[in-house]
Chains A and B, each alone.
Chain A
């Protein structure tokens, strides 16, 4: 636990001093939203709020990819790996600290992204339920951070890692996005047939549990040398 706290502090401090990742993610979110806004038609929104909510999730996935590609970059570029691995700290602590930091960066980005989404896309008073959207985003961020940190560790010692990481990551996003989109879009005007918000959130929690356990168990194999 002490190792986890120290590692998390290191990750957050590095970001605070370097300000490398979060500003880039914010700029990316803004750019992507403007692009999507034009993509859906400048004045009137093609597909309306429903299409926009679906696209919000696509933007969330691509933004998180940005964070993951830079994950462990400091360790790689400045040779921190060897130092980290020579400490007696449990390998899972490295993973847990990295996942927590990524989760915080993603959540921070969304603090800006969600109001922007409201400003850019919502029309005629139709909007998804804010509570459900925030809950779904937080659960999704957690899953993305835990799975992503494992995959980022896997990609660290691989050729063409910047290309490979998205390729490895995207298949895992498909079930997540499928459910998250259905969950949030349905709160705009329910067209449900036996689909409940609690079921959707439950699925996201299950996703987090499974990849949390797998990440925790498998990360030590990824960094063993």
Chain B
């Protein structure tokens, strides 16, 4: 009966994966063939259309994780613990990609792999370390309610850490203007076609994250169910 209903209506992950494939193809086409080359930075500026959407996706994933952590503490529903863990896990992947693409871009446009004076790179490093600590905590506690609660508490602390890191690091840096300012209070600081490409790339990246989220969530649920069945079977024998 479950199979029948699946055939009638494609599930969320399939829809998301299809949307990702279309959007990603469109974004790549626009980045390499449509958008004009930047006057100042030349061809290499195109990495911007990967780097910034990936960074924004990372922030979104953390926000989603923290939101579900708060909901878990409120409602105590184990599925919310998974919904908080999975985006945090994906956040590490996207976070590493942000650091890697940022570092590449830094090498090309500033001539150095890493620049401590740059606010956003440094902030991301702090968040990355926070992330690693989350996993160390999570896997130091036996699975169960305690693990879920501790993970949720630590994830929520990140909500305090991220804005404080952004403000603090920006405060303390002397050369804060080295990172290109793309968005300010007047809106997007770029040409119309560049902005359009950026939006498509952002949509593609977000939709990729949603797909990965749904797939991993399903995997984790199947995992849990198999474990429960195995426990039952062991109890019977």
Contacts and interface: CB of A to CB of B under 8 A. Distances in A.
A35 interface: no
Given A174-B165, A207-B164, A221 B171 contact: no
Contacts of B136: 164, 167-168
Given A154-B137, A154-B153, A182 B171 contact: yes
A150 B152 CA distance: 13
Contact of B156 (A159, A168, A200, A214): A214
A92 to B, nearest CB: 14
Contacts of B140: 158-161, 164
Given A164-B136, A170-B129, A172-B157, A157 B168 contact: no
Contacts of A200: 171
Given A218-B153, A218-B157, A167 B133 contact: yes
Interface string A143-154: 000010010001
A164 B154 CA distance: 13
A168 B154 contact: yes
Contact of B129 (A150, A174, A221): A174
A175 B169 contact: yes
A168 B174 contact: no
B146 A225 contact: yes
Interface in B17-39: none
B172 A179 contact: yes
A224 interface: yes
A66 to B, nearest CB: 19
Interface stretch (A9-17, A26-34, A108-116, A191-199): A191-199
B172 A168 contact: no
Nearest to A218: B153
Nearest to A182: B172
Nearest to B163: A210
A171 interface: yes
Contact of A195 (B126, B132, B146, B171): B171
A172 B169 contact: no
B149 interface: yes
Given A164-B137, A178-B168, A181-B172, A222 B130 contact: no
A154 B154 contact: yes
Interface string A178-213: 110110000000010101000110010011001100
A200 B170 CA distance: 11
Contacts of B146: 157, 225
Nearest to B126: A174
A195 B168 CA distance: 12
A25 interface: no
A21 B130 CA distance: 27
A20 to B, nearest CB: 25
A176 interface: yes
Contacts of B172: 178-179, 181-182, 195
Contacts of B149: 221-222, 224
Contact of A158 (B150, B156, B174): B150
B133 A171 contact: yes
A172 B169 CA distance: 12
Given A154-B137, A195-B171, A175 B153 contact: no
Contacts of B199: none
B97 interface: no
Contacts of B171: 178-179, 182, 195, 199-200, 203
Given A157-B146, A167-B136, 20 more contacts: A154-B137, A154-B153, A157-B141, A158-B137, A160-B140, A167-B132, A171-B130, A171-B161, A172-B157, A174-B165, A175-B164, A178-B122, A178-B171, A179-B171, A195-B172, A203-B168, A207-B168, A210-B164, A221-B152, A222-B150
14 contacts: A150-B157, A158-B140, A161-B140, A168-B137, A170-B129, A171-B129, A175-B167, A175-B168, A191-B174, A195-B171, A203-B168, A206-B164, A218-B153, A221-B153
The 7 closest A-B pairs by CB, nearest first: A175-B168, A182-B172, A171-B130, A171-B129, A210-B160, A178-B172, A159-B140
